[in-house]
Amino acid sequence: MSDSIIWVEDEVKILEEGKAILQKEGFAVQGFHSFEEAKELLMEGVADIVILDWMLPDVSGLDACKWVVNTIGIPVIMVTARTDEFDKVLALEIGADDYIPKPFGMRELIARIRTVLRRSRKAPVETSSSQVLSFNELTIDTDKHEVRLRGERVSLTATEYNLLLAMASYPGRVFTRSQLIESSMGESYFGYERTLDSHIRNLRKKIEADPNNFEYILTVYAVGYKFGEPR
């Protein structure tokens, strides 16, 4: 069965040419020029991934991304002519799984789509004990791919979940940035340490109670990160 893509892009030429190429690659693609047009179909749960232009005629691409992440829970790739690093970090922090600036080559977009889909479906890290990992007020149910903090469900992107699980499966173990990128994002992201740091920062906002005293995701200076050992 083909992976289903919803692409929201206000530039007609980019959308039509891009759709044709993706369809030749075996994807099922439906394109829309405004987010409101795509919303109804998204709510039917037929898409595996969304490609969103930042500048849409009816709504900010960032607002659209937030809605998809929080309401539908599928991966989002942001596409934009904005190349400022701040914009990229902002998109990642509100939940986008990837960000690609215009102009872009279709080969790169296809590779990024496949990478994001692959990591969103990645099997959880196997553990030798229970399928529910518990750390004080934080629990990770690896069967359900569900994270709870003080009993309340935490909404994570696929990348955030994979990062958390990779580290939480080995409390106290130090992971280099390259190791975390490989295990949670894919080899095509080597060299994107700042992208990793953005995902870590977003993850911390969701699970850490004190922004000045992290309990779970700890920085190891000049090396990478580790998951805090139970206190």
Contact by Cβ (8 Å): 152, 205: no
Mean pLDDT on 78-98: 82
Q: Supply the pLDDT for residue 1.
A: 66
With a cut of 70, say whether residue 130 has pLDDT above it: no
Q: How confident is the model at residue 203 (pLDDT cuts 50, 70, 90)?
A: very high
Question: What integer best gives the mean pLDDT of the chain?
Answer: 85
Q: Which amino acid is at 206?
A: K
Residue 222's Cβ-side half-sphere holds a number of Cα atoms within 13 Å equal to 0
Residue 53 CA from chain centroid, whole number: 16
pLDDT band at 22 (very low <50, low <70, confident <90, very high): very high
pTM of the model: 0.61
* Spacing of C-alpha 142 from chain mean position: 18
pLDDT of 123 strictly over 60: no
Average pLDDT of the residues in 78-102? 83
CATH 1.10.10.10 in the chain is located at 132-227
What pLDDT score was predicted for residue 102?
87
Cα 47 to chain centroid distance, Å, stands at: 15
- Which pLDDT tens digit goes with each residue over 136-195? 889 999 888 889 999 999 988 888 888 898 899 889 999 888 888 877 766 555 556 777
What's the CATH number for 132-227? 1.10.10.10
φ, ψ of residue 160 in degrees (nearest 5): -60, -45
> Which residues of the chain are in CATH 3.40.50.2300 domains?
4-120
Q: Among 140, 153, 145, which Cα is nearest to 119's?
A: 145
Which has more confidence, 71 or 105? Answer: 105
pLDDT at residue number 16: 94
Nearby residues of 67 by Cβ (< 8 Å), 6 or more positions away: 39
Sheet with 49-53, strands from edge to edge, namely 28-32, 4-8, 49-53, 76-80, 98-101
- CATH level 3 topology of 4-120: Rossmann fold (3.40.50)
CA atoms within 13 Å, Cβ hemisphere of 218 = 15
